[in-house]
């Protein structure tokens, strides 16, 4: 297999007249003469011209869609249009046959995304999923590059933990017990003191609390790892296993936090636009095609490419929750009772229909909402002084994106011990279990802030896909853990 050249490099090369070797999977074989070969390095196929009169018919028969082959031949300037170069085959070796009668991925009739989800082990072989996963790769790399350029420390927070950061309780339990027969205490409850970790544990829902510990010495840290939520949300925006990026920065306030998040989002989107221009071009066309199926008034005003460029060129709109509520109350859909959840008072959480109205209809650009009511946010968010009306808010921020809704959730953290303890008491968060978290407020506490970016929601935005299950290789969601 030595000296294999990848198709991406080949298509960019100007050097014709040389012998080369390529490997890949057959995408099409026309007229017993033209093979379209792909190796995943690019969406484009290389054309291989077969001298079929002088090729063993048994070999020709085995060149079927999906087969893995190795080709040696001469790279020549292409005679046809659509490509610069092609290969005149001198030797073709079948590495792996692919029975056309049984191969589920016949690309003649464009398979639906739903069907491809059922054959997720093979969907990488389509143009759409090739593009998605190359873009996902670039975004992940760009996240690291962004933080590394700024001197952040990549901190690995634990996957198994005994704490539930939000206190929301939507966790997956981790246990070594024989489930049919777990040890019980005298009062009949499951006795976790006999379990592997001698306490009840779960898969992490967020690395934030541990991230804060790191930031209280390393100053600027970020995590980038898997998180798990057992929420039964069968939506196009939720997964049970997703990847989250969580920076945590000492000495930052909420404004610094918003700047960091906005800079980061723009940086990684720009990186993907530069690095994956062809893939994003392809995904833009895909989305435009898909939207042609929709009624005119439901189609986007901008193409995917335009949306991404627009996001880079414009400042995100920043306003408080209270200002947003005023806008929503006065909005046409609210007055015409078009919202499923009418916006009446101050204090309730925004539904995604409200978020989407603000982003897609009112401001028509990404929005950062700040200073939410403290009742609807987590215990660790920094408390503001009550306003003139006695309303109590916290230094929270959510970033809302068109078509996605919430993409980032973050806050300035409460660094004052008494305030934090008081809030934990009010919310019934056990202080003794979080003794280590409270210690950072005892020993050299300082203002700090951070956020969580749901990586798949970012990939959704950049690829223009409609369902989060299509931007992670093997999605985990209720009733599905196949592959």
Q: If binding is defined by CB under 6 A, does position 452 make contact with ligand ATP?
A: yes
Phi, psi (5° rounding) for residue 358?
-60, -45
Phi, psi (5° rounding) for residue 181?
-150, 60
Q: If binding is defined by CB under 6 A, does position 291 make contact with ligand ATP?
A: no
Region label for 364, one of left (φ > 0), alpha (ψ between -120 and 50) or beta (otherwise): left
CA neighbours closer than 13 Å in the CB half-sphere of residue 413: 29
Q: If binding is defined by CB under 6 A, does position 244 make contact with ligand ATP?
A: yes
Q: Which is nearer to ligand ATP, 445 or 462 (CB)?
A: 462
Beta-carbon contacts of residue 352 (< 8 Å; ≥ 6 apart): 237, 405, 406
Residue written as tokens 């997956």? 172
What's the rounded Cα separation, in Å, for the pair 245 and 204?
A: 13
Alpha carbon 351 to its chain's center: 21
Q: If binding is defined by CB under 6 A, does position 239 make contact with ligand ATP?
A: yes
DSSP letters for 23-75: EEEEEEEETTTEEEEE-SSSSSPEEEE--GGGS-HHHHHH--TT-EEEEEEEE
Which residue stretch of 181-189, 238-246, 353-361, 363-371 sits at the interface with ligand ATP (rule: CB under 6 A)?
A: 238-246
Q: If binding is defined by CB under 6 A, does position 97 make contact with ligand ATP?
A: no
Q: If binding is defined by CB under 6 A, does position 111 make contact with ligand ATP?
A: no
Q: If binding is defined by CB under 6 A, does position 456 make contact with ligand ATP?
A: yes
Q: If binding is defined by CB under 6 A, does position 262 make contact with ligand ATP?
A: no
What's the rounded Cα separation, in Å, for the pair 222 and 249?
A: 8
**Spatial CA neighbour of 168 closest among 477, 409, 344:** 409
| Of positions 22, 407, 424, 462, contacts ligand ATP by CB under 6 A | 407
What's the rounded Cα separation, in Å, for the pair 78 and 327?
A: 59
Subset of residues 173 to 232 that bind ligand ATP, contact rule: CB under 6 A: 229, 231
Q: If binding is defined by CB under 6 A, does position 447 make contact with ligand ATP?
A: no
Q: Which is nearer to ligand ATP, 26 or 205 (CB)?
A: 205
| Core vs surface per residue 452-473: b (16+ CB within 10 A) or e | bbbbbbbbbbbbbbeebbbbbe
In a 3-state reduction of DSSP, which class is residue 134? Answer: helix
Q: If binding is defined by CB under 6 A, does position 461 make contact with ligand ATP?
A: no
State both tokens at 10: 């080949």
Q: If binding is defined by CB under 6 A, does position 457 make contact with ligand ATP?
A: yes
Q: If binding is defined by CB under 6 A, does position 328 make contact with ligand ATP?
A: no
Q: Which is nearer to ligand ATP, 93 or 349 (CB)?
A: 349
What's the rounded Cα separation, in Å, for the pair 68 and 63?
A: 9
Q: If binding is defined by CB under 6 A, does position 454 make contact with ligand ATP?
A: yes
Q: Which is nearer to ligand ATP, 237 or 275 (CB)?
A: 237
Q: If binding is defined by CB under 6 A, does position 355 make contact with ligand ATP?
A: no
Q: If binding is defined by CB under 6 A, does position 316 make contact with ligand ATP?
A: no
Q: If binding is defined by CB under 6 A, does position 130 make contact with ligand ATP?
A: no
Would you give the DSSP letter of residue 386?
P
Instruction: Give the shortest CB-230-to-ligand ATP separation in angstroms.
Output: 10
Q: Which is nearer to ligand ATP, 52 or 339 (CB)?
A: 339
Which residue number places its CB atom closest to ligand ATP? 454
| Of positions 67, 305, 381, 408, contacts ligand ATP by CB under 6 A | 408
Q: If binding is defined by CB under 6 A, does position 423 make contact with ligand ATP?
A: no
Q: If binding is defined by CB under 6 A, does position 242 make contact with ligand ATP?
A: yes
Q: Which is nearer to ligand ATP, 170 or 317 (CB)?
A: 170
**β-pair type (85-96, 46-49):** parallel
Q: Which is nearer to ligand ATP, 64 or 233 (CB)?
A: 233
| Of positions 406, 446, 466, 480, contacts ligand ATP by CB under 6 A | 406
DSSP letters for 406-455: EEEEEEEB---HHHHHHHHHHHT--TTTTHHHHHHHHSS---EEEEEEEH
Q: Which is nearer to ligand ATP, 39 or 262 (CB)?
A: 262
Which residue stretch of 56-64, 92-100, 276-284, 450-458 sits at the interface with ligand ATP (rule: CB under 6 A)?
A: 450-458
Q: If binding is defined by CB under 6 A, does position 374 make contact with ligand ATP?
A: no
Binding residues for ligand ATP, per CB under 6 A? 166, 229, 231, 237-239, 242, 244, 406-409, 452, 454, 456-457
């Amino acid at each position: 297999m030595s000296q294999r050249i990848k198709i991406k490099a080949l298509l960019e090369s100007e050097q014709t007249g040389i012998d080369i070797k390529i490997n890949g999977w057959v995408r099409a074989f026309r007229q017993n003469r033209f093979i379209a070969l792909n190796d995943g390095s690019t969406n484009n196929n290389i054309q291989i011209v077969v001298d079929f009169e002088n090729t063993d018919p048994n070999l020709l028969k085995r060149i079927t869609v999906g087969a893995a082959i190795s080709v040696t031949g001469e790279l020549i300037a292409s005679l046809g249009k659509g490509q610069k170069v092609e290969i005149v085959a001198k030797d073709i070796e079948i590495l792996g046959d692919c029975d056309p009668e049984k191969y589920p991925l016949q690309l003649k009739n464009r398979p639906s995304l739903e069907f491809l989800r059922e054959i997720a082990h093979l969907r990488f072989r389509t143009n759409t999923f090739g593009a998605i996963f190359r873009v996902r790769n670039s975004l992940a790399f760009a996240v690291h590059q962004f933080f590394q350029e700024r001197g952040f420390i990549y901190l690995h927070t634990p996957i198994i933990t005994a704490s539930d950061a939000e206190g929301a309780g939507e966790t997956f339990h981790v246990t070594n017990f024989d489930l049919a027969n777990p040890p019980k205490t005298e009062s009949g409850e499951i006795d976790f003191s006999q379990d592997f970790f001698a306490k009840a544990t779960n898969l992490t829902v967020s690395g934030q609390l541990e991230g804060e510990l790191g930031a209280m010495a390393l100053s600027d840290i970020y995590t980038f790892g898997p998180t798990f939520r057992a929420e039964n949300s069968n939506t196009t925006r939720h997964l049970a296993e997703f990847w989250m990026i969580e920076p945590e920065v000492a000495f930052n306030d909420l404004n610094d936090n918003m700047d960091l998040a906005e800079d980061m989002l723009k940086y990684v989107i720009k990186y993907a636009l530069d690095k994956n221009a062809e893939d994003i071009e392809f995904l833009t066309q895909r989305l435009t095609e898909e939207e042609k199926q929709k009624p005119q008034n439901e189609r986007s005003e901008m193409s995917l490419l335009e949306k991404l460029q627009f996001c880079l060129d414009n400042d995100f709109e920043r306003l408080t929750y209270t200002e947003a509520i005023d806008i929503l109350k006065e909005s046409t859909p609210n007055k015409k009772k078009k919202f499923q959840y009418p916006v009446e008072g101050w204090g309730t959480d925004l539904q995604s229909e409200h978020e989407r109205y603000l982003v897609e209809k009112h401001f028509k650009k990404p929005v950062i909402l700040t200073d939410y009511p403290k009742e609807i946010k987590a215990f660790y968010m920094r408390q503001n002084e009550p306003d003139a009306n006695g309303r109590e808010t916290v230094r929270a921020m959510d970033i809302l994106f068109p078509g996605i809704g919430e993409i980032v959730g973050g806050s300035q953290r409460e660094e004052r011990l008494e305030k934090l303890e008081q809030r934990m008491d009010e919310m019934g968060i056990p202080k003794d279990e979080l003794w280590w978290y409270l210690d950072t407020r005892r020993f050299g506490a300082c203002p700090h802030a951070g956020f969580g970016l749901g990586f798949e929601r970012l990939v959704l935005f950049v690829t223009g896909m409609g369902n989060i299950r299509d931007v992670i290789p093997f999605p985990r969601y209720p009733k599905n853990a196949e592959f």
